[in-house]
Chain A
Amino acid sequence: MRSFLLTLAGMALLPIAATPAQAAGKTLTIALSSEPTAADPHYHDLTPNNALGKEIFGTLVMTDENQNVVPALASSWKAADDHTWIINLRRGVKFSDGKPFTADDAVFTFCRVVKNTQSITGAFSPIIANFAAVETPDDHTLKIVTKAPEPLMPEKLMQISIISSATAQHGRITFDLDRNCGVTGPWPTIAQFNSGEAAISSGPFKLVKFVKGSVIEMERNPNYWGPKPEWDTVRLVPVPSGGPRLAGLLAGDYDMIDGVSARDANTLKANPAFGIKIKASNRVIFLQLDVARDQSPYVEAPDGKNPLKDVRVRRAISLAINRDVIVKRIMDGAADPASQFVPEMMFGAMPKPEPLTYDPQQAKKLLAEAGYPKGFKITLSATNDRYINDSQVAQAIAQYLNQVGIRTEVDAMTRSIFFSRRSKREFSLSMGGWGSASGGAESFLRQFVATTNRESGYGTSNYGGWSDPKFDAVIAKASATMDETERAAGLREAGRMAMASLPDIPIHFESSIWAFKKGLAYPGRLDQATLAQFVTSAK
């Protein structure tokens, strides 16, 4: 009797233990470390949202894995003059619902970005706010006139996902914001995007299902104009915790994962069933110094002044840090030492910057020259849950500084507190990170090194208060230069000036690591996005 019952129980459990049948066609399952907050591409300017936008919508311009702009829905573009851009649109493109893609859809998209009341932080509206007028001389040409010169127009357009004008009722569409652009019905809402109703795609995939916290399902868009992606169905599963994400890859639940830690990558390298891809990212980890105030909250110097105001002290701090060891030991090799604020391959970066070496003797000499032979006391403030191994890197830096006589304490805190306090200028020496998403070298220099100016938006994160009018002039000129070669030269000049005065000290560039089953391949991306359209099987 008992054995009969046991057999019955065993048989009942069998279907539960057996794996479910595979869906027809090729399916790719990717586990993501951060989840898109919505399928609405204009809702929130967040890396995972933008990555999803590139899969289920199209953009006029795309970036390749090294953040160079390449044509997408726009086949070519040129700057007619300082305030005008002519964009030629690709012909013969159809949306997933069969309707043709025309310049009207682009204008509709621009309008929606501004009229989207549901986006909490006005996601991409600053870009559109600079448009004085948008004309459509014909169905496949856009003429954008800007208020201020915008040399980075292609890169700005890369950020805006194009939606179909069929998602709202409209008359004739024009870029007339006061008259609602000719739209007569309601603008599409987040709910309509999440449910798939408004998710009409001109990209490689189209959205099938968006269940927050559970899964995002996409399927191949048969009307895509570009190279056909290999996968019929793609499932994106959010698994924010690193351990379970790796466990899922090992167990075969996922074909690919992102956000792999360097330690795990080294173990996976030895495992013949898996492959990894390491690629440098555009994120630099750097120190920001309080160079403006005579009294800094966390600095205690024997002469009562702020040693950080002296460039020799700043150079000494940089010389005291052994970046190679930090990269090798703390980042497990998944990083590159930085001698400027963007990796050399990016636009406007110095191809051969002067290397920031490790020379504690020279550091001590400089400190003595500056009048601090016995050093001084300082606190290094950092996050402990935002960047890869952030608190360990901060501790290592503190140790190095201690060795040259700068008695450093580390105050590592959770990110929400760190960013709030830093923006209130409560720190003397803080460690942060910055990913240069667009503009190449201009991004960091404009945000952190230029003098803070509320109206122009320069120096928004310049919490150290560095102010050099000569630098401001160079960066302002470069930002407004339409010619690419000239602009790159201007940015290199600005970079040289920034490295000479060192108000911020770069430490290293983080690398992103992806892991996948053997047989798959991914080129990796500088902008750290995980895009299924570029995942191929090696066969």
Chain B
Amino acid sequence: MGTFVFQRLLQSIAVLLAVSIVVFLSVYTVGDPVELLVNPEATELEREAVIRTLGLDQPIWMQYLTFLNNALHGDLGISFVQGEPAIDLILSRLPATFELVVLSLVAALTIAIPLGLWVGLHADVPAARAVMTGSILGYSIPSFWKGMMLILIFSVIFRLFPTSGRGETVNLLGVPFSFLTADGLRHLALPVINLAIPNVALFVRLTASGASEARYQDYVRFARAKGVRPRRIVRRHILRNILIPIVTVLGVEFGSLIAFSTITETVFAWPGMGKLLITSIYRLDRPVVVAYVLLVTFLFVAVNLAVDLLYAALDPRVKLMERPS
């Protein structure tokens, strides 16, 4: 397994390099950030001074090499707009997004897996079919509208939850999290529901289809014949065998939610990374965009590695790499 991990690391470096070139070139050749930063009453000379400070007077390949050189020393650029290192900016917003995504996925899985198992094993019951149809709805409703409706119903009409923002935070291992306070949970409720709904839909369908297929497998028949109790069959045999696709999708969903929860974060004014990304794109804050994409690529690579290792843990038949015979 050590060789496997090592090989993966080498591949990841190649991927990161390729992504960095593509992103850098595309972001640094579009638009003119100076126009957006500088006071509109500034003179030509002042404008040129800003261009020089930001290093934008260099040819593009030179800017890329400077960036690469800095990156190898741990500096992924300084934000044009905030003046802080881009990495610090992104990482400071990571805890907010992280707790939102983790709580949403936990909530989604807690509902979806038991529900999906039940639906998959009792597929002909009308209620089960209703759940499957309902899941299409859960997946297709646009996130923006769904978020606004949640705010309208639960915040404005019923006054149960606050409309937006993050609640009180406490420091856990030096990092501020808000899910440990009552006020924080109140603020988390609606955005978590908003993110969880499509994930519930997704995982219900996945679990249900896996379960309904596993139901007719030989090992289930044999277990029934052996006299194993149904609960134990479901828990020990069926669930374990259908986990592989669920884990794959979970990995992809986790990565994409962390990186791109932009809509939910915008609607609920949640101070997370997605909002930072969209604002930086609008303001042509190039270093932040590049640093962000690189970080997200790294995240996806790490998640994929974790998923592959999980496969090996879940299914003893899976071989991580071909052994030389």
Binding site for B on A (CB under 8 A): 15-17, 19-20, 37-38, 43-45, 118-123, 126, 190, 211-215, 237-241, 243-245, 247-248, 250-253, 385, 414-417, 419-420, 423-424, 434, 437, 443, 447, 454-457, 460-461
Contacts and interface: CB of A to CB of B under 8 A. Distances in A.
B155 A423 contact: no
A214 B165 contact: yes
B50 A213 contact: no
Contacts of A420: 31-32, 35
Q: Sort chain B's interface into a size bin.
A: 35 or more
A21 B314 CA distance: 49
Contact of B35 (A190, A423, A434): A423
13 contacts: A120-B53, A121-B39, A126-B43, A241-B266, A241-B267, A247-B163, A247-B164, A251-B151, A415-B282, A416-B33, A416-B35, A424-B32, A454-B43
Nearest to B285: A416
A144 to B, nearest CB: 20
Contacts of B40: 434, 447, 460-461
A416 B80 CA distance: 14
Interface in B266-320: 266-269, 271, 275-276, 282-284
A460 B43 contact: yes
A416 B284 contact: yes
Contact of B186 (A16, A244, A252, A415): A16
Contacts of A211: 271
B57 interface: no
Contacts of A16: 182, 185-186, 189
Given A20-B183, A37-B81, A215-B165, A419 B36 contact: yes
B200 to A, nearest CB: 20
Nearest to B186: A16
Instruction: Name the prevailing secondary structure of the A interface residues.
Output: loop
A426 to B, nearest CB: 11
Given A38-B82, A120-B83, A416 B36 contact: yes
A250 B53 contact: no
Contacts of A454: 43-45
B159 A244 contact: no
A35 to B, nearest CB: 9
B218 interface: no
A253 B182 contact: no
B205 interface: no
B163 A460 contact: no
A43 B81 CA distance: 10
Question: Max chain A CB contacts within 10 Å: which of B37, B41, B81, B152?
Answer: B41
Given A238-B269, A447-B40, A190 B83 contact: yes
Given A43-B83, A416-B283, 18 more contacts: A118-B83, A120-B80, A121-B42, A123-B39, A244-B164, A248-B155, A248-B163, A248-B164, A251-B155, A251-B163, A416-B282, A420-B35, A423-B32, A447-B40, A454-B43, A457-B45, A460-B41, A460-B42
A460 B83 contact: no
Nearest to A456: B43
A212 B271 contact: yes
Interface in B154-179: 155-156, 159-160, 162-166
B148 interface: yes
4 A-B pairs with the lowest CB-CB distances in the bound complex, closest first? A213-B271, A420-B32, A457-B43, A419-B35
Contact of B148 (A15, A243, A414): A243
Contacts of B14: none
Contact of B31 (A244, A416, A455, A457): A416
B37 A120 contact: yes
B213 interface: no
Contact of A45 (B39, B155, B164, B183): B39
Nearest to B281: A416
A121 B148 contact: no
B266 A240 contact: yes
Contact of A243 (B44, B80, B267): B267
Nearest to B162: A253
Question: Max chain A CB contacts within 10 Å: which of B96, B183, B266?
Answer: B266
Contacts of B182: 15-16
A419 B269 contact: no
Contact of B159 (A241, A251, A417, A423): A251
A58 B43 CA distance: 27
A443 B40 CA distance: 11
A455 B45 contact: yes
A250 to B, nearest CB: 5
A126 B46 contact: yes
Contact of A247 (B49, B156, B266): B156
A244 B268 contact: yes
B269 to A, nearest CB: 4
B83 A251 contact: no
Contacts of A385: 282
B69 to A, nearest CB: 22
Nearest to B284: A416
Nearest to A238: B269
Nearest to B148: A243
Contacts of B80: 120
A37 B82 contact: yes
A214 B40 CA distance: 28
B282 A239 contact: no
A121 B50 contact: yes
B38 interface: yes
Nearest to A237: B165
Nearest to B41: A447
A445 to B, nearest CB: 12
Contacts of A250: 156
Nearest to A385: B282
B155 A247 contact: yes
B215 interface: no
Contacts of B155: 247-248, 251, 253
B8 interface: no
Nearest to B164: A244
B93 interface: yes
A187 to B, nearest CB: 14
A463 B165 CA distance: 41
Nearest to A19: B159
A244 B269 contact: yes
A443 B41 CA distance: 9
B100 to A, nearest CB: 13
A118 B152 CA distance: 42
Question: Max chain A CB contacts within 10 Å: which of B31, B266, B275?
Answer: B31
